Structure 1
């Protein structure tokens, strides 16, 4: 299933990008490069037709995963950041009020701050507690008559906190407000049903929980929504028109798409569907509990996010007294061959909640192919490092 020739490293940075990829993903990319690497939607010859089929089949698998009725309501993007910008800048207008949360990634915060400066929009960030929790009542209290959009990160990329998405979706539906969900840490590891959860737009990465290549991702757009396109240009359809076409997904996909990458994404989604999201989440949660038990037993180590036994996605962020997070990460890499992520993780809002803005934190994140032995190796390494730095 997995490539035996991959680099020998304990990889615990899955929240940034998943690795290794299933062999089926690697093979799909290679097959597309060899056989289907023409320009999709730009010709009627057999290779172009096959390339177009790759894109449509990938949409179909994503639609199956997210319970989307029409696959053409999924527009591809290069990553979650691109998808979020497509949604935020394509929907919000001058004078709008937006509600977001105190655990948002900069891919949400920075576009909102840009629109505050350029369009004069108003933004309310719902304050999260130290573990990153927010409540439906807080979101309800933040909505005002001028509110047009609520944005929530399904799961914090620092704390692993899971927001009550279905309940928030029911609230926004009742209030006539649109809901945009950042699924960077949840796609492929938490159940997502856009219809049942009241999701109007869903931004997702291909390269994390969906196990696809980097440079892939997308945005589900409710069929009743019409966003202002981020890009204008060639689509292969209605080329005689001066304006961007309205037909989906062409309206939101100007330029040549990443056919080999999307072929790999299709294989990754199929792998997830075959294994099931429930099975993947159950395994990752068990590994995070093992990691939390081990790390919390080390003197001077403080864990961030939900407490032991509470639901979360597969990451554990921590600070170790007397050891700078960046130095901890460097030592783990150079001396123990363990890959983690240190710093501020592009989410100063969540670090503010956790009280770690002065120092940052170390984040260890598991994936479906992580083993218990690898988690134990991390715990043992952190214990050794902490002992050496102990005053």
Structure 2
């Protein structure tokens, strides 16, 4: 049996030696026998077999460049992209799939929306629970004359829509809001804010990185103008996929942030001005989109609601089990019906990185420590700069795995992680 390692060691040294922590044999053993993956808020794992099969089939049968040639492989590659748009449109209540811009991730989608829309003199509103994919583009625009208001949230990460309404000014151009926090899982009142934005004539942009495929989303009912999403989380696509829904007419107001070859109007040296080509320059990730199409189909076949029920049950079991463990603090709402399957915890007197490393090396439990690319959220819940240990559950996790995680936390908290 492998000896336990002391975890009072500096976390930076722990991570420096991390690449040599396991031999290839150990990696294979853990993967096949003991791995418990609770880092689904970063990326879901494993992916369904249909995702991998679709990507392999695309490589074999649709290896051309979509929209660039007229031969059968090019046409088949174009069909892959069309099918992916159609599958995504069906999940999000989008009537015209050409309103979906295919991107490499939610970050690119948010940059298109934020940097393409906002101009000097504009005012924009966001919340204190945002990911850096929202905060960094917004902060980068401030020196150029874009005015930013960050609405404070409760220590559990809740946002009051009335605070958003009060923050709207004559020069307010947009509201940018996460659908759910990647730190606490707190679900934001998107529909309520959408109504406010539409009534006041403000563009409403939603970051659905944590919710697309895991919560019902209808861009019409929620009055969402711009919906940014990633493909590699709850849509079960591969990394390097994502998209942006853009309400009709906004393409006249949002400038592309990248220009180049689109396969359309090649006789022109100016960028096309129609959707989605004006935002999709360069050769697309056709293989990745084949996987995303399959992943979205998997979600549609299983049903977003049934996936939600399973993940909510796992979250409830974890919350119920952890509340009685001495020395452990849970952040957020602690209500599985009002949050995503994301739970951040801290253990009194212990560094989150050390705890996460112990969970990995001793128990084969994968979590994510630290600030989760969301320092604003951690300042809101008062865990900055150390951060938390984040457990994020997914469709392929089980109740038995949750029980094993609770046992591990109880052991580590009780021992205070001594050598």
Bin of the TM-score, shorter chain as denominator length: over 0.9
CA distance in 2, matches of 1:390, 1:19: 28
* Cα displacement (A) at 1:68: 0.6
**Is the deviation greater in 289-298 or in 176-185?**
289-298
Q: Residue in 2 aligned with 1:234?
A: 261
- SS of the aligned residue for 1:152 comes to strand
CA distance in 2, matches of 1:204, 1:308: 24
Q: Residue in 2 aligned with 1:174?
A: 199
Matched, 1:217 2:237: no
CA distance in 1, matches of 2:381, 2:63: 46
CA distance in 2, matches of 1:303, 1:320: 9
Say what the alpha-carbon RMSD is for the aligned residues: 1.4
Task: Describe how 1:16-95 pairs up with structure 2 within 5 A.
Answer: 16-95=42-121
Task: Describe how 1:334-373 pairs up with structure 2 within 5 A.
Answer: 334-373=361-400
CA distance in 2, matches of 1:384, 1:26: 37
CA distance in 2, matches of 1:304, 1:220: 32
CA distance in 2, matches of 1:92, 1:101: 17
Q: Which among 197, 200, 223 is matched to residue 198 of structure 1?
A: 223
Q: Which among 293, 298, 306 is matched to residue 279 of structure 1?
A: 306
Matched, 1:298 2:325: yes
**TM-score (ref. length: structure 1):** 0.97
* Cα displacement (A) at 1:390: 7.6
Q: Residue in 1 aligned with 2:408?
A: 381
CA distance in 2, matches of 1:311, 1:51: 40
CA distance in 1, matches of 2:142, 2:192: 28
* Cα displacement (A) at 1:136: 1.0
List gaps (5 residues or longer) in structure 1.
Answer: none
Matched, 1:15 2:37: no
- SS of the aligned residue for 1:99 comes to strand
Contact 1:285 1:311 (C-alpha < 8 Å) held by counterparts: no
CA distance in 2, matches of 1:378, 1:240: 60
- SS of the aligned residue for 1:34 comes to helix
* Cα displacement (A) at 1:359: 2.0
CA distance in 1, matches of 2:204, 2:49: 36
* Cα displacement (A) at 1:295: 1.5
Provide closer, same or farther for how the CA distance between residues 345 and 309 of structure 1 changes in structure 2, counting only shifts above 3 A: closer
Q: Which among 157, 163, 167 is matched to residue 142 of structure 1?
A: 167
CA distance in 1, matches of 2:337, 2:228: 25
Deviations 1:55-91 (A, max 9, x none): 0010001000001111011001111111100110111
- SS of the aligned residue for 2:217 comes to coil
CA distance in 1, matches of 2:63, 2:341: 35
Contact 1:322 1:390 (C-alpha < 8 Å) held by counterparts: no
Instruction: Tell me how many residue pairs correspond in the alignment.
Output: 387
- SS of the aligned residue for 1:111 comes to helix
Contact 1:201 1:221 (C-alpha < 8 Å) held by counterparts: yes
Contact 1:131 1:304 (C-alpha < 8 Å) held by counterparts: yes
Q: Residue in 1 aligned with 2:351?
A: 324
Q: Residue in 1 aligned with 2:125?
A: 99
* Cα displacement (A) at 1:381: 0.5
Q: Residue in 1 aligned with 2:6?
A: none
Deviations 1:315-355 (A, max 9, x none): 11000002110000000111100100000001111101111
**TM-score (ref. length: structure 2):** 0.91
* Cα displacement (A) at 1:38: 1.1
Deviations 1:3-55 (A, max 9, x none): xx964410000000001000000000000011112111100100000000000
